[in-house]
């Protein structure tokens, strides 16, 4: 059960950024619903029509939930799209591959906006749970749409990463090679920063959180290193095996260190979603990045709840509902 910063019986609170998140995500959902409804008039492939209908059903369900949240907090929401868009006109230039590219770009765009909304929703646990569920479902929809487009030959692959020897049946793209290198570099930096903070942390629970985080970072780094070596990608410079702290740890506050670590986790959530979206040539790498992202979401939730319990999370001003 989510930990709330409000006592039982208190009125549910929401901050000003979360108000915008409801409005903005709902606006994007409405636009996508209207786009899918329009293009479904011109789809030729029966299976593609089923894929789009499934996507539309998810959009409508998620929009309804956000509408209810907007009503609960008396938030002015965007105008809804038409219930149906029907036309018997036949336009030959609107091909299924063209429709796919438009829908696919919209799905990718919404993944980024949903990610931003999720990670910036820190006050209201219930709303964050809604956005998390939407995000996970949207990532599944992205996976289905991407695979269908790839099967049909509508998905274009980015340039391949060239190594001195062929590696298995799944080639690597240049952007996938970059994401491998970037993810390794990020873990090296976060691991070194965590080591540094361990020399200053006072709270025993916070030290336990740091040690658990470092263990996870090191484990993921080893897995990424193995993938990079397999594809002959140059590795970043490794951090030192340990960090000495030749100064008095007393002035360093646990709250400051927590917020630095928390910001790093938020950045890692974004890093993993970008890697998942752009890993469209190598399926096994995309699945690995997706699993890292799901793990990062669990870590983010646990660390956020711990920080709220300690009173260390910096929250935006609360929203004053219209009377």
User: Do the domain assignments include residue 162?
Assistant: no
User: Do the domain assignments include residue 315?
Assistant: no
What single string gives the DSSP state of each residue in 92-140? TTS-HHHHHHHHHHHHHHHHHHHHHHHHT--S-HHHHHHHHHHHHHHHH
Please identify, among 118, 152, 186, the residue that sits at the C-terminal boundary of a domain: 152
Q: Show the tokens assigned to 222.
A: 């080893």
Please identify, among 121, 152, 183, the residue that sits at the C-terminal boundary of a domain: 152
Please identify, among 102, 122, 152, the residue that sits at the C-terminal boundary of a domain: 152
Q: What is the pLDDT along the chain (323 residues), one digit of tens a residue?
A: 444 444 444 678 999 999 999 999 999 999 999 999 999 999 999 999 999 999 999 999 999 999 999 999 999 999 999 999 988 877 778 999 999 999 999 999 999 999 999 999 999 999 999 999 999 999 999 999 999 999 999 998 889 898 766 666 678 999 999 999 999 999 999 999 999 898 888 899 999 999 999 999 999 999 999 999 999 999 999 988 776 655 555 657 899 999 999 999 999 999 999 999 999 889 999 999 999 999 999 999 999 999 999 999 998 999 987 76
Same domain? 135 vs 182: no
Question: pTM value?
Answer: 0.88
Query: Which residue segment(s) compose the domain that 281 sits in?
Result: 174-310
- How far apart (Å, rounded) are the C-alpha atoms in residues 303 and 276? 23
Same domain? 304 vs 179: yes
User: Do the domain assignments include residue 102?
Assistant: yes
Same domain? 230 vs 279: yes
Same domain? 137 vs 215: no
User: Do the domain assignments include residue 168?
Assistant: no
Strand partners, 15: 318
CATH assignment at residue 130:
1.20.1260.10
User: Do the domain assignments include residue 30?
Assistant: yes
Directed axis angle between helix 283-310 and helix 174-198, to 10°? 30
User: Do the domain assignments include residue 160?
Assistant: no
């Amino acid at each position: 059960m989510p930990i709330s910063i409000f006592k039982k019986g208190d009125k549910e609170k929401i901050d000003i950024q979360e108000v915008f998140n409801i409005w903005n995500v709902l606006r994007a959902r409405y636009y996508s619903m209207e786009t899918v409804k329009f293009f479904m008039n011109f789809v030729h492939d029966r299976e593609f029509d089923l894929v789009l209908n499934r996507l539309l059903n998810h959009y409508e369900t998620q929009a309804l939930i956000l509408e209810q949240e907007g009503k609960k907090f008396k938030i002015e929401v965007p105008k809804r799209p038409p219930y149906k868009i029907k036309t018997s006109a036949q336009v030959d230039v609107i091909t299924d591959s063209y429709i796919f590219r438009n829908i696919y770009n919209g799905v990718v765009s919404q993944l980024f906006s949903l990610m931003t909304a999720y990670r910036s929703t820190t006050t209201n646990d219930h709303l964050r749970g809604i956005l998390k569920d939407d995000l996970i479902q949207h990532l599944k929809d992205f996976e289905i749409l991407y695979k269908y487009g790839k099967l049909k030959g509508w998905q274009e692959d980015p340039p391949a990463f060239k190594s001195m020897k062929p590696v298995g049946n799944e080639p690597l793209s240049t952007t996938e090679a970059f994401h491998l290198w970037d993810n390794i570099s990020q873990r090296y930096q976060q691991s070194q920063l965590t080591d540094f903070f361990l020399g200053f942390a006072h709270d025993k629970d916070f030290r336990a959180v740091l040690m658990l985080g470092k263990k996870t970072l090191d484990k993921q780094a080893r897995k990424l290193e193995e993938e990079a070596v397999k594809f002959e990608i140059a590795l970043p410079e490794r951090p030192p095996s340990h960090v000495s702290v030749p100064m008095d740890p007393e002035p360093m506050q646990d709250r400051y260190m927590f917020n630095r670590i928390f910001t790093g986790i938020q950045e890692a959530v974004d890093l993993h979603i970008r890697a998942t979206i752009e890993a469209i040539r190598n399926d096994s790498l995309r699945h690995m990045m997706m699993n890292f992202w799901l793990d990062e979401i669990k870590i983010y939730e646990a660390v956020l709840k711990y920080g709220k319990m300690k009173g260390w999370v910096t929250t935006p001003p609360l929203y004053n509902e219209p009377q």
